[in-house]
Chain A
Amino acid sequence: MILRLLSPLFALSLLVAASPAQAQTAANTRTVIEVGSPDFRPYPIAVPEARDMAGGKTTATGTEVTNTLRFDFELAATFKVLDPKSYLADPTKEGLAAASIKFTDWVSIGAEGLVKVGLTETGDSLKADFRFYDVASGRQLLQKGYAGTLKDGRRFAHTFVDEVIFFLTGSKGIFRTKIASVRKVGNSRELWVMDVDGSNLRQITSNGSINLLPNWTRDGGGVLFTSYIRHNPNLYSTPLAGGRPTLVSGERGLNTGGTMSPDGKKVALTLSRDGNSEIYTMNPDGTNLVRLTNEWAIDTSPTWSPDSKRIAFVSSRWGDPHIFVMNADGSNVRRVTERGNYNQTPDWSPKGDLIAFTARDERNVFDIFTVNPDTKEIKRLTQDQGNNEEPSFAPSGGHIVFTTTRDGGRSQVYIMAVDGSNQKKITDAGGFNTPAWSPYLE
């Protein structure tokens, strides 16, 4: 009787005690809305022709330096290089020092930044003086001098663009990194390496076999790849400087998609030694093999999170191939793409917030998307421009390299900003596959 009487009192007291907390939770969930500026435009920058400090004429090196600067600033996506035809100043007469620059001429064409370059060529040697000005104030913001040979002109330009980007944003520039890719050579497929602007293209394997799926070692000194040199798809490592490839994994069946963890302690790869494609990890020297997945379906294409604690991969365990994420020990597997029906080739951003992947959409076209591994939000980056595949993040996480057939014929390598904007072609030769962006090299 007493208990029956007390029960409602208890319930009432609990209700009174709990209500404020519940009400607080409900009321205090504050919505956050992001509003982007509708009239955002990139930083307008003028890059006049590099000046030959000795003769005043435009040299081949000067043209190469100028073109490299213009390409890099455009590629960076936060700059708009103003059309050189609109420049009012005569670059052969205007000097490098602030006192000799008529800034009103640069203000008139809408420039806010101005890059001036002076080159001194003596025989094979080259001295370069790079300066960056704020046009409105006429103030010199940055000056760098470099010395080397005539071959170094392009490298100097890449270095200076990195310096300007670091000065303005505090983030490291990407223009001294490299891209490895597979390209068909006769009946074989060999590995090639190029600069971010597609220049300095050179072949790093020449074994006459089928070489596939390059991935950089953590120090950027070499490339892991799968090769049929010994008639089985084994995993090798080759130094960038050249030399014989070293066997990393030669298990029976597939040894593919080798990718080194960001801390450099492990290599994740796909093996089919037990009959079915599964994800494994091993030490970089091939020892301590650990199986992470054990499914009837295909598990493949591992990619590491930047903290080396998680691995994203492709699995068809739920029917269609989708992107999954698991802990680095194989636990806590969860699906992160729940849309589309053919998602593959994941690459985890060095920033950790996104995984880029290739997906076939309902029009049977391959395009590039990103997915946030935590919220599962998917964004499309390419659309209506041929097939676009095999994304790989720059070490900054701000750009993505990929291959595309948009130009017709053989696939080319393109680079775009991480939001899909500013897509630029960097190769002309064609026939490239599976590009992989290096880590920072300097």
Chain B
Amino acid sequence: MTSGLRFPTPGIDERTDMHASPSPSTACWNCGGAPGPGHFCAACGKIQPPGDGGYFAFFALPEKLGVDREDLERRYLALSWKLHPDNFVRAGEYERNCSLELSSALNDAYRALCDPVSRAEYLLERHGVRKEGQTKQQAPPELLEEVFELNEWLDELRSAREAGSRGAETSELRERLEGARQAFEEKLAAVDAELGAGFAEWDAATDGGAGDAARGRAMARLNEVLNRRSYIRNLVASVTRELENDA
């Protein structure tokens, strides 16, 4: 299942200092000086257009998956304040546009990085490891048999309900499904632990300035764990839904 992955990642510089640069590498549109950190020119203080450094860089964070939520929220609030369009009502059109674009990008960036799973998905998408709906992603084969069986039970429960049987008649089936839900919830917890280990592997590779191969391995592992996680989560959700419908 790694056949769809491409390494090394194109267009992403390996040097970690690149990831911490929030502004475009081009000179300030106003004074031509070097743009400083935090979306404003260090020399003249003017707001700068959004850079292409990605969401981590937007918050001047290193591209690491272990993120302190409180720290991220502080950065988000500080930037919301600084970039808010209200601050630019008397500025020129270009600055007003920069403020609008940055404010909208800020919200996208915050939403993507806030949740650990979407953060990891974002990282992999940015590096071309994961593509929404396009890459051929296979479900984890070792799960398929169980998934199929679970779906058959769900089908049975639905048909039984449609046939008007309730309560005692479906209780054995409900018990089986309840057991399966617990088993899959345990799997979900185990997958979350694996995801945590994957985060640590990526962060260590980033901290250690590891090469493309190590970073690629870390991303391939994350991708595999995320696939498994989304599959299991969908299952737990559909079992829960059916059991509630039947209650």
The answer to whether A and B belong to the same complex is no
Which residues does A use to contact B, with CB under 8 Å?
none
Which residues does B use to contact A, with CB under 8 Å?
none
